[in-house]
Structure 1
Amino acid sequence: MACHTRSNSFPSRSHPVALNFEETLRKLRSSSSIFNKLNGLQDLHECVNKVLCLPLTQQALGQYQQKKWVDEQLINGSLRLLDMSCIAKDALLQTKECVQGLLSALRRRRGDAISSEVKKYLTSRKVMKKTIKKALRSFKGCSSPCINEEQHETITMLKEVEVVTFAVFESILSLITGPKAQSKLSGWSLVSKLVQPKRVACDDQEKESDVNDFEKVDVALSSKFDNNTIHVQNQLKELESSIQDLEQGLECLSRLLIKNRVSLLNILNH
């Protein structure tokens, strides 16, 4: 009976939508770069949108018993993901503005302006790290799916997508704060494993491949660089490029999250 219910309530494995979803999820899990994971999330939520648009899905989730799970789990989960996206975008915007201010000061070669912008950057980073750490603590435990045998399997699938999305958001936020924000027990942070450097560093200060662009700039600005301003400028430009990539990916993903949230609300209100 259970198999019969599933075959009539969710696309079978041979259905193009189901096949696309499984393949997209597989690629996302095998991605090693945070940028690839972010792109993979966009593809995954595109698949989710297609699933939610299926009449069969809408009919199944529109049943009274399933509406309860949609309301209690999926609607609340989608809101948490949007909150995480906003936190990440705000942090990236603040960092980008500081980077651009510092680059401008370095081009003008004004010592007082450079000193002021460096102080502004480091202060902003310190406040940002505290904000992100606080946010991550508040979200801790919210990403675990609450599975119940009464749930429709589409809800279980969507909860799985939520967990994967939450994990990538967590990695992005940890990337912004820098690997040092991770637990020292493991020796290597989760972000260090996920993020591969986009460029091969040639300077002795950049030998460790697990150091990301945010951390490189933090280290450079925390020490004297009077005789190496060109190197610092290059690092700032690389960070600016990374931020732009992340911003574009997050903006596209946020639009998809909102779109799918609206679809769920429509199902709930019918």
Structure 2
Amino acid sequence: MAALPCSKTKPFRSISLPVRSHPTTQRVEEVLNKLNGLETSVTATTETICNSLLGLEELQKCTDDLLQLPQTFQIISQRQHVKWFEELLGNSIRILDVCGTTGELISQYKENIRALQSSFRRRKGDSSAEAGIARFTSFSKKMKKDAKKLVLSLKQVDCETLTAAFLETDQETIAVIRALREANAVCILIFQMLLSFLSMPLFKSKHPKWSLVSKLIHNGRIELEGLENITNMETKVETFEAQLDSIEKRLEGAFRSLIRSRSSLLNVFSS
């Protein structure tokens, strides 16, 4: 299956913090390294995506705890670090926007799947299946374009985050900034993986606009071979709908955790 050209196989970042780092900072490192063990190829499975989103929830909780530490507030209040943390705050809202938009894309995907299933059920005596497949194909093309735009947006955030400079002063400061930076970067990679998954075509076909199915539907009558093909499509659609349900639930949890982390960031800056 074709994937987005801008989404390349890329491992999660693994970090090694100073031995004397605060236990909360070390916990962030542990979760990051656990996420690093997951597959992150562009052909990631539903299970990998769900586990990654679950890990993202845990990671955000750890970073939230990190933001509550007095040491973190002291670091942020230092003049040389303010700009970097302001950038981190700005990136957090952009990631939240991408997460929310991704959730909307999944909802749209499920709506179009239900419409396609409805057209399959009405296939006897008319060309509903052909029309339903054509509409779904059109939606899939739009989905891929929307996903590509979101990936490009994430790549821009990723670039800004990774090139943001910070002064290597004491070891604890280095540990906190590095942990927050890498947590942000892993979050971006997870959404890139999810969007690449959503952009893949549900059906494999070398025939544009499902011409194969179109040829099998003649004068309102579906030939046996066409019926078998559509039955296979129905099975695949049902399976994919269940996969989207699982991803959607995990995405909702990740979204809530991102909101909490942003709230913690705002509280630290306003203190």
What is the aligned counterpart of 1:100 among 106, 110, 114?
114
Q: Which residue of 1 aligns with 2:38?
A: 31
The worse-fitting range, judged by mean Cα deviation, of 23-32 and 79-88 is: 79-88
Say if 1:81 and 1:166, in contact at 8 Å, map to a contact too: yes
What amino acid does structure 1 have at the position aligned with 2:34? Answer: K
Alpha-carbon distance change, 129 to 88 in structure 1, aligned in 2, over 3 angstroms: same
Q: TM-score w.r.t. structure 2 length? A: 0.73
Matches of 2:19 and 2:255 in 1, distance apart?
26
Task: Provide the residue aligned with 2:203 in structure 1.
Answer: 217
* Higher relative contact order, chain-length normalized (CA < 8 Å, sep 6+): 2
Go from structure 1 to structure 2 and tell me whether the alpha carbon gap of 1:131 and 1:244 turns closer, same or farther (over 3 Å shift).
same
**TM-score (ref. length: structure 1):** 0.74
* 2:65 is equivalent to residue 58 of structure 1: no
How many angstroms does 1:13 deviate by?
4.0
Gaps of 5+ in 2: 1-17, 40-47, 214-225
Distance 1:155 1:81 in 2: 18
Q: Check 1:257–1:99 CA distance in 2 against 1; reply closer, same or farther (3 A cut).
A: same
Please, which of 29, 38, 58 is the counterpart of residue 43 of structure 1? 58
Partner of 2:195: 173
2:103 is the counterpart of 1:86: no
- 1:238 and 2:236 are equivalent in the alignment: no
Answer yes or no: is the 8 Å Cα contact 2:29–2:179 preserved in 1. Answer: no
The corresponding residue for 1:4 is none
1:22-81 deviation line (CA, Å, top 9, x unaligned):
22111101012222222211111111111112233233323444333211x211211221
Contact 2:117 2:234 in 1 (8 A): yes
Go from structure 1 to structure 2 and tell me whether the alpha carbon gap of 1:234 and 1:168 turns closer, same or farther (over 3 Å shift): same
Structure 2 residue 248 is matched with structure 1 residue 247: yes
1:49–1:138 Cα change, 3 Å: closer
1:150 aligned counterpart, secondary structure: coil
Amino acid at match of 1:140: K
Offset of 1:137 from its aligned partner? 2.9
**How many correspondences in the alignment?**
223
1:230-259 CA distance string (max 9 Å, x none): 321110011101111111111111111111
1:245, 1:113 → 2: CA distance? 29
Q: Write the distance in 1 (CA, Å) between the matches of 2:241 and 2:97.
A: 23
Give the CA deviation at 1:218: 5.6
Q: Give yes or no for contact 2:92–2:262 (8 Å, CA) kept in 1.
A: yes
Q: What amino acid is aligned across from residue 20 of structure 1 in structure 2?
A: R
User: Does the 8 A contact of 1:25 with 1:44 survive in 2?
Assistant: yes
SS in structure 2 opposite 1:259? helix
Equivalent of 1:18, from 25, 42, 45? 25
Amino acid at match of 2:29: E
Cα contact 2:27–2:62 (8 A) shared by 1: yes
- Distance apart, 1:169 and its partner CA: 0.6
> Percent identity over the alignment?
28
Q: Distance in 2 between matches of 1:121 and 1:127?
A: 10
Change (3 A) 1:253 1:162: same
Q: Which segment is superposed worse, 56-65 or 118-127?
A: 56-65
Residue 223 of structure 2 corresponds to none
1:148 aligns with 2:154: no
Distance 2:72 2:166 in 1: 18
CA distance in 2, matches of 1:156, 1:21: 10
CA contact under 8 A between 2:123 and 2:129: conserved in structure 1?
yes
8 Å contact kept, 1:75–1:261? yes
Is the 1:11–1:18 Cα contact (8 Å) retained in structure 2?
Answer: no
Contact 2:102/2:195 (CA < 8 Å) preserved in 1? Answer: yes
Q: Distance in 1 between matches of 2:82 and 2:247?
A: 34
Does structure 1 residue 132 correspond to structure 2 residue 147?
Answer: yes
